[in-house]
Amino acid sequence: MKRDQLIFNLIEKEQERQENGIELIASENFVSKQVMEAAGSVLTNKYAEGLPGKRYYGGCEVVDEIETIAIERAKELFGAAWANVQPHSGAQANAAVLLAVLNAGDKILGFDLSHGGHLTHGSPVNFSGKLYQPFFYGVQEETGLIDYKQLEEIALREKPKLIICGASAYSRDWDYEFIRAVADEIGALVLADISHPSGFIAKGLLKNPLPHCHIVTTTTHKTLRGPRGGLIMMGNDFENPWGLKTPKGEVKKMSAILDGAVFPGTQGGPLEHIIAAKAIAFGEALSDEYKAYITQVKRNADAMAQALVAKGYHLISGGTDNHLMLIDLSNKDITGKLAEEALGKADITVNKNMVPFDKRSPFVTSGIRVGTAAITSRGLVETDMVQIVGFIDEAIINHKDETLLKDIRNKVNAWMAKHPLYK
């Protein structure tokens, strides 16, 4: 076959874009070379429906070993009793959990998307809001912190079958114990989606939901710095509360129900090349080197938050416990959309984001979300955060000045050239 130069040229162009810019998208990171190598390996050729030792295809001896290592490393990393490493993405992991524990039309209670939640936690445009009956809690307007009283009130009134905690744009830790206590009052299950802070949780820098929440999901590609993918875990495998039986007449464990909800419930063959890359990333995350990395992510986030506040930016909740910050630009005379565009012209990549109680639409927004996971992978430290905030501020103040934005871009490109991505 002729090499598809059209696509390879575009991949090279994307690599240059990643090399040249300052990547502040909170959900992105840069994987190691060995993670990428596994993701691009011959394992992409293999079908392996089923689980290690219980496949529907022959020739699975090697991928069985790989997937078993991935499962064992995930369990060790988070202190889980059970894990399924097959979900193709975070959304797929959540789809499997919802399929496992709910019937169509059941009530769920999640964190409002417009306050920082995720689409899969009940948004009306997502399967989770179409197939189930969603209710939402949010943050308090004055503090920007989760309104646990509201969560409790709605839970006691509506009696959802599932309470979902976790977020895409919330910079503080969660009170998992409280949520579990509320769930126990109404006989609900709790799902914690730790997609964003999972790297901190793995290394003990934020609270671990596994002892409190029945089921935990995460993406593997954010702070965890693995390939794009999902993971489902439980701290304690338990008998399903509905008394569903196995063909042998025993009450089914939740692990069996969740495994079945991944395959055949929502997916076909697992991506064994991605599972190998997950296994490598989990191995990396078990190391002291990763502990130093994730500790630096936090230091950088603190330094960036302080520098932003010093320049008059309003951070929702006033600061951060993790890698991300939600910046409310209402006092800066610029929308999230225009800020994203201006920063993009300076090769600083962020995403526009609704802020709680936003009066603008999701296409315009009053805020931007930034995170330090990716720039920390490039070796940047606290003092660099002050410089980055200087660039951000200059670009936002002068967002109509194309010459100045180009000037910042040149400075950004020269600076990032000193921090090569893949040496």
Which one among 50, 134, 144, 166 touches ligand PLP, defined by CB under 6 A? 166
Which one among 115, 118, 203, 369 touches ligand PLP, defined by CB under 6 A? 118
Distance from C-alpha of 314 to C-alpha of 316, rounded to nearest angstrom: 6
Helix H or strand E segment including 219: strand 215-219
**Interacting span for ligand PLP (CB under 6 A) from 89-97, 292-300, 331-339, 409-417:** 89-97
- Tell me how far, at minimum, the Cβ of 410 lies from ligand PLP, in Å: 31
196 binds ligand PLP (CB under 6 A): yes
Pairing of strands 348-349, 22-23: parallel
Point out the annotated binding site.
Answer: 113, 117-119, 361-363
Angle between the N-to-C axes of helices 336-345 and 402-416, in degrees from 0 to 180, rounded to the nearest 10:
60
126 binds ligand PLP (CB under 6 A): no
- The helix/strand/coil state of 362 is coil
Taking the alpha carbons of 183, 189, 195, 201 in that order, is the dihedral positive or negative?
positive
For this structure, is 228 an active site residue?
Answer: yes
Sheet order of strands, 230-234 included: 82-84, 230-234, 215-219, 189-193, 162-165, 107-111, 133-137
Give me the residue label for tokens 């910079």.
Answer: 171
| Structure token pair of residue 310 | 């010093």
Distance from C-alpha of 205 to C-alpha of 196, rounded to nearest angstrom: 13
Which one among 50, 90, 110, 199 touches ligand PLP, defined by CB under 6 A? 90
- Tell me how far, at minimum, the Cβ of 409 lies from ligand PLP, in Å: 27
- Tell me how far, at minimum, the Cβ of 195 lies from ligand PLP, in Å: 4
Segment 168 to 187, residues that bind ligand PLP, using CB under 6 A? 168
Question: Which residue, judged by CB position, is nearest to ligand PLP in the bound state?
Answer: 90
Tell me the residue length of the chain.
423
408 binds ligand PLP (CB under 6 A): no
For this structure, is 157 an active site residue?
Answer: no
Are 364 and 285 in contact by the 8 Å Cβ rule? The answer is: no
Which one among 84, 86, 120, 376 touches ligand PLP, defined by CB under 6 A? 120
**Interacting span for ligand PLP (CB under 6 A) from 90-98, 274-282, 345-353, 393-401:** 90-98
Q: Residue 101: how many CA atoms within 13 Å on its side-chain side?
A: 27
Segment 203 to 242, residues that bind ligand PLP, using CB under 6 A? 219, 230
Which one among 126, 195, 335, 372 touches ligand PLP, defined by CB under 6 A? 195
| Structure token pair of residue 359 | 């009066």
For this structure, is 222 an active site residue?
Answer: yes
- Tell me how far, at minimum, the Cβ of 165 lies from ligand PLP, in Å: 10
With contacts defined by CB under 6 A, how many residues of the chain interact with ligand PLP? 15
- The helix/strand/coil state of 182 is helix
For this structure, is 193 an active site residue?
Answer: yes
For this structure, is 143 an active site residue?
Answer: no
Segment 20 to 59, residues that bind ligand PLP, using CB under 6 A? 27
For this structure, is 47 an active site residue?
Answer: yes
Pairing of strands 107-111, 133-137: parallel
| Structure token pair of residue 173 | 């830790």
Residues at the interface with ligand PLP (CB under 6 A): 27, 89-91, 94, 118, 120, 166-168, 193, 195-196, 219, 230
List active site positions: 47, 49, 193, 219, 222, 228
